[in-house]
Amino acid sequence: MKFVTFSAGSLVLNKVSKNLTKVAKKSLAFEEVNNWNFNELAQVAPEECALILQEFVLSNTGFGWWAWKPLLIDIEMQRASENDLILYMDAGNTFKKNLNLKEFTTSLELSKKYFDLVVTTVDGAGTRQFGSEEFKWTKPDVLNLLKKIEDQKTSQYAASWILIRKNKQTCSLIREWKELSFANKFENINENYGHAQKLNSHIAHRHDQSLFSVALKNSELVSKNKNRELEVAQNLLSSNIEVSRNRTPFDFKSSNLIILKIKQIFYYSYILENKIKKYKSYRKIIVLFYRLLKNS
């Protein structure tokens, strides 16, 4: 059983990811604990990472719209043995301070015995206020990829943590997620709405999560996994994981544009100061990126 996380672009994320992996190791629930960074990912998948860097120059949201996530999970799936379990968690997540190790290990054992995939539907301030239906959190062009129109009105699946078993079906799901993310120069995963009509009921596009949810709903894994044991495993895992997509030292939620810009300047100055120290480790990626562009 493996635990996997990833951190890049933020000193804060690097720090919390280290704390996250420390707790994962301490739990003794995993044979392998992997905390990836972008430099390591680029060594394994240089071409995909060059594309991500190119997109990152245009927008630093999610370090390239979170396209690295399905890429990373796909690599870990390829390296895993058949029927191995992998728990992926975003670096912004944490195990709860009062982590119940018995509940946590029970959920993993249930999953190991019965399931190919354990995920939850979205839950947060936005969904509690506006609802969790797919059409509200996925842009129209991606929404139209759903095979069943009724799935547009079902809750979106979350991608902040995923417990997955390696087999033919789950490998196919992750590959589909990755292909959707990189397709058409990141058109599916980014915030470009193109010529699609933006519905009044639509709130925001959730990037990697929207694509994961669509790929999962189009697979046979959803119906296969519906039973009482799955619900128990979901509840036990959810009760011990605290989900957060934003781990920065500054709060960007502000209606005042001037205050928001000042906060952003302070934040990026904070990031730049720490990125300079990492210049040598990123230099190889930049050189590789330049060579690929030159030869394209």
Q: What is the pLDDT of residues 146-173, one digit of tens each?
A: 999 999 999 999 999 999 999 999 999 9
**Beta bridge partner(s), residue 117:** 164
Question: What are the structural domain ranges in the chain?
Answer: 1-241, 253-292
At 56, the amino acid letter reads F
The mean pLDDT value of the chain amounts to: 80
Q: How far apart are CA 94 and CA 20, in angstroms?
A: 6
Residues 6+ apart with CB under 8 A from 33: 2, 3, 21, 24, 25
Q: Which ranges of 8-139 would DSSP assign to H, the alpha helix?
A: 11-27, 38-44, 46-58, 62-65, 68-79, 101-114, 125-130, 134-137
**Which pTM does this prediction carry?**
0.80
* Average pLDDT over every residue of 59-75: 91
Considering only residues 167 and 227, tell me which one the structure prediction assigns the higher pLDDT: 167
pLDDT in tens, 22-50: 989 988 889 999 999 999 999 999 999 99
Q: How far apart are CA 280 and CA 283, in angstroms?
A: 5
What topology is assigned to 1-241 in CATH?
Answer: Spore Coat Polysaccharide Biosynthesis Protein SpsA; Chain A (3.90.550)
Altogether, the residues listed in the chain come to a count of 296
When pLDDT is cut at 50, 70 and 90, the band that residue 186 belongs to is very high
pLDDT of residue 100: 79
pLDDT in tens, 89-124: 998 888 887 777 788 888 888 777 777 888 888 766
Residues 6+ apart with CB under 8 A from 220: 169
Burial group, residue 91, by CB count within 10 angstroms (0-12, 13-18, 19+) = buried
Residues 6+ apart with CB under 8 A from 229: 110, 114, 115
CA distances from 54 to 288, 290, 294 (A): 12, 10, 13
